[in-house]
């Protein structure tokens, strides 16, 4: 099918600078896409690249959109998936919305985990999140000395109720010995999992320490694309998989593969506007592991700019947004 295609570039500041192993984020950049078929049906998608995780860069995504010269057709998906996974997700999201497939789970709610700022700043915001009803927290590690971070984590646990759960994310920043030190330390705590302790290339070591310690390990950067998901599971990984829909590539390929997968899937945001957020939350509602909160408690990291519509509570509704809301967001973004 052929579509008329338009796109708009956006930049939105974080409320506070956000530090990860890959540097400090102050601005989230992305591209909104709009497809319209010959009957006038419209669908919106969002390109939210994360180059550090292996997706195309923002520059390459923009160049791809510009090269389309206002026209798109379904045949382009085959060539897009590998080199432009974030673009592929955005265009397939727009097509699904255009064809009303997103209506399937429209009434469902999704429980989400809150993302804590790294270091001691987490202690300052924990009470605020707790008062909102959050019961699962994700906290970044590998940004300071181990003894300092472990001391902060002890305080986080002490100041939390017994029913609160934590998941720690190293973003592949730990050495093998550091990973073992953390896993040994966490044997004394009932946490959900340690996320991506080692670099994605350290596959054998990750498999080995997963067998050696009782604390579960979740893979993230190691499985950022459809192909890497397939290869990792085929190699024998049976643990948690973190799925970042906005950068994984083809939704249709993911839906086909998921029928063969028995792993527990935890879906996670990459700081999208409501358009990409809705598309990812939809997949979390369909395929997320029961009993584990999705990683979509991130909207409080942005200013109130009108681009986040789902709210920042621990329970998010898929019927919070409509195509009319997306149209308003589209109008709000300045012209290229």
At residue 195 the predicted structure's pLDDT band, cuts being 50, 70 and 90, is very high
What's the confidence (pLDDT) of residue 105? 47
Q: Which residue has the tokens 């592991």?
A: 289
What's the confidence (pLDDT) of residue 22? 86
CA angle (153, 277, 142) in 5-degree steps: 25
Q: Report the number of secondary-structure helices (H) and strands (E) in the chain.
A: 12, 13
Are 113 and 187 in a shared domain?
yes
What's the confidence (pLDDT) of residue 77? 78
Residue-wise pLDDT for 200-243, tens only, equals 999 999 999 999 999 999 999 999 999 999 999 999 999 999 99
Domain containing residue 125: 105-322
Hey, what's the torsion of the CAs at 223, 30, 74, 105, to 10 degrees?
A: 70
Are 111 and 98 in a shared domain?
no
Report CA Rg, the chain.
Answer: 20
What's the confidence (pLDDT) of residue 99? 83
- Of the candidate ranges 126-135, 256-265, 317-326, the one whose mean pLDDT is the lowest: 317-326
- Greater pLDDT, 276 or 333: 276
Query: Among residues 6, 8, 138, 140, which one is catalytic?
Result: 140
The sign of the dihedral angle between the CA atoms of 98, 101, 106, 109 is: negative
Whether 18 has a pLDDT exceeding 90, the answer reads no
DSSP 8-state secondary structure symbol assigned to residue 198: S
Whether 115 has a pLDDT exceeding 50, the answer reads yes
- Let me know if 140 is a catalytic residue: yes
Mean pLDDT of 42-58: 95
Are 158 and 281 in a shared domain?
yes
Residue-wise pLDDT for 88-101, tens only, equals 999 999 998 888 74
Are 78 and 192 in a shared domain?
no
Whether 336 has a pLDDT exceeding 50, the answer reads no
For all residues of the chain together, what is the average pLDDT? Answer: 92
* Backbone φ and ψ of 22, nearest 5°: -95, 0
Residue-wise pLDDT for 133-182, tens only, equals 999 999 999 999 999 999 999 999 999 999 999 999 999 999 999 999 99
Mean pLDDT of 261-274: 97
**Rounded-to-integer distance, Cα 319 and Cα 278, Å:** 9
What's the confidence (pLDDT) of residue 98? 87
Q: Where are the beta strands (DSSP E) in 56-209?
A: 71-73, 109-116, 136-140, 165-169, 193-195
Are 130 and 20 in a shared domain?
no
| CATH code, domain carrying 200 | 3.20.20.120
What's the confidence (pLDDT) of residue 81? 67
Whether 107 has a pLDDT exceeding 70, the answer reads no
- Let me know if 145 is a catalytic residue: no
Provide the number of structural domains found in the chain: 2
Are 70 and 137 in a shared domain?
no
Are 122 and 257 in a shared domain?
yes
| CATH code, domain carrying 31 | 3.30.390.10
Whether 106 has a pLDDT exceeding 70, the answer reads no
Q: Using a CB cutoff of 8 Å and minimum separation of 24, what contacts does 218-222 make?
A: 218/167, 218/193, 218/194, 218/242, 218/266, 219/195, 220/53, 220/169, 220/171, 220/172, 220/195, 220/196, 220/244, 220/268, 221/53, 221/54, 221/171, 221/172, 221/196, 222/172, 222/196
Are 230 and 188 in a shared domain?
yes
**Rounded-to-integer distance, Cα 332 and Cα 43, Å:** 16
Are 122 and 260 in a shared domain?
yes
Are 302 and 227 in a shared domain?
yes
Contact 90, 37 (CB under 8 A): no
Are 118 and 262 in a shared domain?
yes
Query: Among residues 6, 8, 138, 244, which one is catalytic?
Result: 244
Whether 118 has a pLDDT exceeding 60, the answer reads yes
Are 200 and 297 in a shared domain?
yes
What's the confidence (pLDDT) of residue 209? 97
> Residue ranges of the alpha helices (H) in 99-145?
121-132
């Amino acid at each position: 099918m052929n579509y008329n295609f338009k796109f708009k570039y956006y930049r939105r500041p974080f409320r506070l600078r956000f530090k990860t192993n890959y540097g400090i984020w102050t601005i989230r950049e992305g591209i909104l896409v709009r497809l319209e078929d010959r009957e006038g049906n419209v669908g919106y998608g969002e390109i939210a690249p994360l180059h550090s995780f292996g997706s195309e860069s923002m520059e390459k995504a923009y160049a791809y959109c510009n090269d389309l010269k206002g026209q798109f057709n379904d045949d382009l998906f085959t060539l897009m998936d590998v080199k432009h996974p974030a673009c592929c997700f955005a265009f397939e999201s727009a097509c699904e919305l255009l064809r009303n497939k997103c209506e399937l789970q429209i009434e469902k709610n999704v429980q989400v985990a809150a993302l804590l700022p790294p270091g001691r700043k987490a202690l300052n915001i924990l009470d605020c999140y707790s008062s909102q009803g959050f019961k699962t927290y994700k906290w970044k590690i590998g940004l300071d000395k181990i003894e300092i971070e472990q001391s902060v984590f002890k305080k986080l646990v002490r100041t939390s109720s017994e029913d609160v759960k934590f998941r720690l994310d190293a973003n592949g920043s730990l050495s093998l010995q550091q990973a073992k030190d953390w896993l040994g330390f966490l044997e004394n705590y009932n946490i959900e999992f340690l996320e991506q302790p080692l670099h994605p290339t350290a596959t054998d070591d990750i498999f080995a320490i997963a067998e050696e310690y009782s604390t579960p390990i979740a893979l993230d950067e190691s499985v950022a694309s459809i192909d890497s998901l397939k290869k990792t599971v085929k190699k024998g990984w049976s643990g948690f998989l973190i799925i970042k829909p906005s950068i994984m590539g083809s939704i249709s390929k993911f839906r086909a593969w998921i029928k063969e997968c028995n792993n527990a899937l935890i879906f996670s945001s990459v700081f999208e506007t409501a358009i990409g957020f809705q598309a990812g939350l939809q997949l979390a509602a369909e395929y997320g592991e029961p009993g584990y909160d999705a990683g979509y408690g991130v909207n409080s990291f942005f200013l109130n700019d009108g681009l986040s519509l789902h709210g920042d509570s621990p329970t998010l509704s898929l019927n919070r947004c409509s195509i009319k809301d997306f149209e308003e967001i589209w109008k709000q973004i300045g012209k290229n």
